[in-house]
Structure 1
Amino acid sequence: MTQTVGKRPAEDMTQVKLNVKWGKETYNDVEVDVSQPPLVFKSQLFALTGVPPDRQKVMIKGALLKDDEWGKSAPKEGMTIMLMGSAEAVPVEAPKNIPKFVEDLPEAEQEHLETKRFGAGLHNLGNTCYMNSTLQCMFAVQPLREALYKKASGAGGDPTGRLVTAIAELFKDLESGGAPFPPYAFLVALRAKFPQFAQQTQGVFAQQDAEECWTNVMYAMREKVKDEDGNPVVDKLFGMRTRLRLKSDESAEEFTEDGMTYTLKVNIEEKTAHVSEGVALGLKEERERSSVAMGRTVVFRGGTSLTALPPFLTLQMMRFFFRRDNGQKAKILKKIPFSLEFDAFEFCSDELKKELEAPRVAYKEAQDREIEAKKLAKKGPGPSAVATASAASGTLTAANAVADVDMKEAAVASTSAPTTSSSTKLSMTGKYELVGVVTHKGRTADSGHYVAWVKQSSDGTWVCFDDDKITVRTEEEVLQLSGGGDWHMAYLLLYRAIMVDMSGAVPAAVSEAAQPAAAMETEGGSSA
């Protein structure tokens, strides 16, 4: 069985093949790059045996291998080394019904007790903040987690399958919450599938782009995680159907192209004053194409419109650009304000706008009723006030019945027919609420630091995941991530669709608690 890290040039003596003896198991021809820290080798052993690096005792030449340096223990070609350590802790039957007190918990658990409900932090394994922040933000998408748990076991043993399985296992560990942990298995699987994330600079793993990590992981899940009908779950949750229309002023010829994208680009120019303006710029396009009428190449101009909207919408701030003078990716620091609510209506096709009109009116009416009910409630418990508030509360609570929508009931983008459950019909409004932000702090793409900011679906609390550190934040602090200085600024924005229940005589806005599961079932503009 061979495990490889990086590429092995024909005469690269920094890589050797070893035999690893672990209990009754023997792994032959394990390729090891001795120019990298021993911790990388231990990560390989973790992938092979399941023994976490912190439990491993690796004996080479009679000495115990350290994490940070080989020392005199650098292995030679064909050598057999000994690995000691258990892959799983020995189960011990604990006494039942014994009350637990905070003082009796281990110090590590006591320290993270207050943040356990938000998940867990992830240790930085050497410039892996881009990866940690991406995973924490993706973790906020509950339907994605549920789909991964169902399908990961059958993902297969190829590099893509191992990566998808590693994502599912890591998400389960995050759900357990508590003390931060090192995402070794996922990092090894990521670099095995996408070798660019193993690039090094002067012997140190290089900083990578969070958006590139986001996109590559998305495509890996698209390949392996399907619903019962064989449709990619990623397409249903994040895919935006698009239509590009271009026209030549010279020949009056037109060109149309349909496609799908997972992110809307936010282009930044000198006059860009808001994220919506940046999206509009990103959808404009100009191409040179061959003209049959003119018999030569002409310029076609136009833009892209959205023909179907997903339950989760991602915006990418185009802050990085390549500087030819120094050969580095520079960063645009300009302040680009964004809102807690994003309206995609103006970027939709005319056909989709017509589908969205009625749900948008229903949503506005539901908002107005809720505001009126709150005003009446403040005036006191009069008969009319109680009746109005009770009615508003009833319509909103009715929407919670969609919390257990099955994946098979998700709408299919290739048809405009509504998908409904027995009691509820959800419709897209074109409006979205902010639920996640990946920020970057620093002057260049090849340096700096990435952090995730995630809104908790349980109570609306904003939480900052800075590798292994978890802190509670406010909406005001999140809105300050718009740029304009050296502080953290938004790079990826994750929004969740706001939908309305159109099944009753009086439409009601879907409550926040119901949205994560309900997002998979929509009428009009849904994506699959």
Structure 2
Amino acid sequence: MASMTHKMSVKWNKNVYDIQFDPTLGVDALLQTIQDETGVPKERAKLMPKTKKMWKGVLNAKYDLTTLPPPPLVALLMGSAELPVVPKVKTQFIEDMAESEVAAAGAVLPAGLLNLGNTCYMNSTLQCIRYAEDFKGGLDNGTSNQFNQALSSTFKSLDSSINAVQPGSFVMAMRSMFPQFGEMSQRGGGHAQQDAEEFLASLFMSTSQVSVPPSLAGDGVTNLPEACFGLRMEETLTCPEAGDSEPPVVKHDNAFKMICNIQGGHGQKVQISHLGAGLELGLNSEVEKHSEVLGRNAVWNKVSRVDRLPKYLCVQMMRFYWKATPDSADHQGVKCKMLREVKFGETLDMFEYCSDKLKGILKVPRDKKAKEEEEEAERKLNGDSKGEDTEMKDTEMKDADNAEDEEMKRALAMSMEAAAEPTGACAGPGLSPDFMGIYELYGVVCHKGRDSSSGHYTAWIRQAVGSDKWWSFDDEQVCEQDTQAVLQLNGGGDWHMSYLNFYRAKE
């Protein structure tokens, strides 16, 4: 029988450890795993719940871990480490390591992807999806078709190589399953350039056959891309012409990205210069719909709000559009690109774009954080900060012991209250109850050129959570960048400009 793997976030001091464990092995095995990660001996470890409907008080050896509620699970660890944690892997020199070991250790620049005939749109998007770890790992949860199998294989090749990877098998599978990506250029010279967003949509369509990993289960999600990138949108339609006589129409729909509408230029009333304004514009629109009260079609106002957030968030900058050219020879039109500068930051706060229900969920940790900051400011104002010197070392130790006792009392009280109260709601699958709706930018797909049928795509990836260092992927060419360079990808000229922004939930 296959083992069941659970994930628990264990908070100890100022650190958070993601602990993988098998609940069927019992409490002792869980505490041993925690000891290996933190250095806190299991004999003196006191583990208390921060997620409701877990155990009461301090975890005891007789507790049945198989009765734990669905993830996310969060616990508080009390106890001190007697000795520093011994490294699990001995020091190795690069010249003594295999290529896959060097790649896994991050000792060199990560591998890029060879361009196999205008496949830069594919290469750049794959690099951004590659660093959505839950999605990449979840592909092994059932790869039912050739596209998904080739996708998983390509990611594994990238992670184990220090040289550029040739994605030949994946390109063949992609063009077989989605023939539009095999279209030849009318200008001659091989395959046509494609739209990175259309490729991303096709990738999500294919991988929707992959089931949800246990760590992201819940909240009604049914497949891998929905569990990782899926948003649930609440749409409210009202008919101003009918007034209060026509009740609002409220419905829910799923989406895999947010839209940043871009407007601006000479003579236009709306000038979008920042991501936030573009998102708000994209959530408000007008539609023509039948009114029962009026007995005919009328213009309705449509207001969309996010009702469920994902662990990974994609935002599309609506830079490409179709311009009709009735006076041209073919009387059709041309593909154009909006070059307007639209600034974005390192983080994105989604609170203002959420439904009232979701705002209520996010408000709990946000209020808690605000209260903690207020109390900390008061302590500093009163000269009672944690960094204040004391007169004697033994007094410091005594104060630390007292503080630990007080923390334990508070944690015990909290765990008892949690057992009595209903389960706290989360903003979405895989998100902690402490998630405040704030995301960190981790990847950008950029386009350089004048329209979607030409130009060149590149990817920019943050090296680690909170890091100021980035990599830029220009097909097989990889180099280091910094955050300042990434924030310059906001448009306004012929330089690389953001088209797809990828974010991950900030804990």
Q: What's the TM-score once normalised by structure 1's chain length? A: 0.62
SS of residue paired to 1:219: helix
CA positional deviation for 1:218 = 1.0
2:354 maps to which of 348, 352, 360: 348
What CA distance in whole angstroms lies between the structure 1 residues aligned with 2:320 and 2:241? 34
Report what 2:236 is aligned to.
Answer: 245
Per-residue displacement from partner, 1:62-110 (whole Å, max 9, x unpaired)? xxxxxxxxxxxxxxxxxxxxxxxxxxxxxxxxxxx9x9775x999x99x
Residue 212 to residue 295, structure 1, CA distance change in 2 (3 Å): same
1:195 maps to which of 140, 154, 179: 179
CA positional deviation for 1:425 = 5.5
Residue 478 to residue 416, structure 1, CA distance change in 2 (3 Å): farther
Residue 298 to residue 343, structure 1, CA distance change in 2 (3 Å): same
Per-residue displacement from partner, 1:265-304 (whole Å, max 9, x unpaired)? 1001111121010001111121111122212111111310
Report what 1:260 is aligned to.
Answer: 254
What CA distance in whole angstroms lies between the structure 1 residues aligned with 2:204 and 2:260? 19
Native 8 Å contact 2:139 2:210 kept in 1: no
2:453 maps to which of 435, 442, 446: 446
Question: What is the one-letter code of the residue matched to 1:226?
Answer: V
CA positional deviation for 1:227 = 3.5
2:157 maps to which of 145, 150, 173: 173
Report what 2:297 is aligned to.
Answer: 297
Percent identical: 35
Report what 1:11 is aligned to.
Answer: none
Report what 1:217 is aligned to.
Answer: 203
What CA distance in whole angstroms lies between the structure 2 residues aligned with 1:126 and 1:368? 57
> Mind listing any 5+ residue stretches in structure 1 that lack a counterpart?
1-96, 156-160, 395-414, 499-509, 511-528
CA positional deviation for 1:416 = 8.5
What CA distance in whole angstroms lies between the structure 1 residues aligned with 2:203 and 2:380? 44
Question: What is the one-letter code of the residue matched to 2:323?
Answer: R
Residues 54-453 of structure 1: matches in 2 within 5 Å? 102=95, 117-152=108-143, 155=144, 161-201=145-185, 202=188, 204-227=190-213, 231-252=222-243, 253=246, 254-270=248-264, 271-325=271-325, 327-364=333-370, 382-383=389-390, 418=425, 426-453=433-460
Residue 114 to residue 180, structure 1, CA distance change in 2 (3 Å): farther
What CA distance in whole angstroms lies between the structure 1 residues aligned with 2:466 and 2:283? 35
SS of residue paired to 1:426: coil
CA positional deviation for 1:370 = 9.2
What CA distance in whole angstroms lies between the structure 2 residues aligned with 1:371 and 1:474? 32
What CA distance in whole angstroms lies between the structure 2 residues aligned with 1:368 and 1:479? 31
CA positional deviation for 1:431 = 1.0
Residue 462 to residue 366, structure 1, CA distance change in 2 (3 Å): farther
What CA distance in whole angstroms lies between the structure 2 residues aligned with 1:250 and 1:366? 48
What CA distance in whole angstroms lies between the structure 2 residues aligned with 1:101 and 1:295? 75
Per-residue displacement from partner, 1:8-56 (whole Å, max 9, x unpaired)? xxxxxxxxxxxxxxxxxxxxxxxxxxxxxxxxxxxxxxxxxxxxxxxxx
What CA distance in whole angstroms lies between the structure 2 residues aligned with 1:371 and 1:194? 57
Native 8 Å contact 1:115 1:178 kept in 2: no
Question: What is the one-letter code of the residue matched to 1:255?
Answer: V
Report what 1:79 is aligned to.
Answer: none
Native 8 Å contact 1:190 1:197 kept in 2: yes
What CA distance in whole angstroms lies between the structure 2 residues aligned with 1:227 and 1:208? 31
Report what 2:68 is aligned to.
Answer: none
Per-residue displacement from partner, 1:134-156 (whole Å, max 9, x unpaired)? 0000001111111113323xx1x
Report what 2:479 is aligned to.
Answer: 471
SS of residue paired to 1:204: coil
Residues 501-520 of structure 1: matches in 2 within 5 Å? 510=507
What CA distance in whole angstroms lies between the structure 1 residues aligned with 2:423 and 2:236? 21
Native 8 Å contact 1:434 1:495 kept in 2: yes
Question: What is the one-letter code of the residue matched to 1:342?
Answer: L
CA positional deviation for 1:313 = 1.0
Report what 2:56 is aligned to.
Answer: none
What CA distance in whole angstroms lies between the structure 1 residues aligned with 2:423 and 2:337? 41
CA positional deviation for 1:428 = 2.6
Question: What is the one-letter code of the residue matched to 1:320?
Answer: F
What CA distance in whole angstroms lies between the structure 1 residues aligned with 2:242 and 2:448? 47
Question: What is the one-letter code of the residue matched to 2:154?
Answer: L
Question: What is the one-letter code of the residue matched to 2:136?
Answer: R
Residue 369 to residue 197, structure 1, CA distance change in 2 (3 Å): farther
Residue 416 to residue 306, structure 1, CA distance change in 2 (3 Å): farther
Question: What is the one-letter code of the residue matched to 2:252?
Answer: D
What CA distance in whole angstroms lies between the structure 1 residues aligned with 2:386 and 2:298? 67
Per-residue displacement from partner, 1:101-121 (whole Å, max 9, x unpaired)? 75x999x99x99997555311
CA positional deviation for 1:381 = 8.2
Residue 351 to residue 114, structure 1, CA distance change in 2 (3 Å): closer
Per-residue displacement from partner, 1:470-494 (whole Å, max 9, x unpaired)? 1111110010000101100000011
CA positional deviation for 1:444 = 0.9
What CA distance in whole angstroms lies between the structure 2 residues aligned with 1:308 and 1:445? 31
SS of residue paired to 2:435: strand
Question: What is the one-letter code of the residue matched to 2:250?
Answer: T
Native 8 Å contact 1:124 1:132 kept in 2: yes
Per-residue displacement from partner, 1:168-208 (whole Å, max 9, x unpaired)? 11111111130102100110111111100000023510000
What CA distance in whole angstroms lies between the structure 1 residues aligned with 2:380 and 2:170? 47
SS of residue paired to 2:464: coil
> Mind listing any 5+ residue stretches in structure 2 that lack a counterpart?
1-89, 265-270, 405-421
Native 8 Å contact 1:117 1:177 kept in 2: no
CA positional deviation for 1:452 = 0.6
SS of residue paired to 1:243: strand
CA positional deviation for 1:246 = 1.0
What CA distance in whole angstroms lies between the structure 1 residues aligned with 2:112 and 2:279? 32
Question: What is the one-letter code of the residue matched to 1:134?
Answer: T
What CA distance in whole angstroms lies between the structure 1 residues aligned with 2:107 and 2:127? 14
CA positional deviation for 1:363 = 3.7
SS of residue paired to 2:122: helix
Report what 1:25 is aligned to.
Answer: none
CA positional deviation for 1:362 = 3.0
SS of residue paired to 1:256: strand
Per-residue displacement from partner, 1:482-519 (whole Å, max 9, x unpaired)? 01011000000111112xxxxxxxxxxx4xxxxxxxxx
Question: What is the one-letter code of the residue matched to 1:240?
Answer: L
Native 8 Å contact 2:141 2:213 kept in 1: no
Native 8 Å contact 2:103 2:159 kept in 1: no
What CA distance in whole angstroms lies between the structure 2 residues aligned with 1:215 and 1:203? 26
CA positional deviation for 1:382 = 3.1
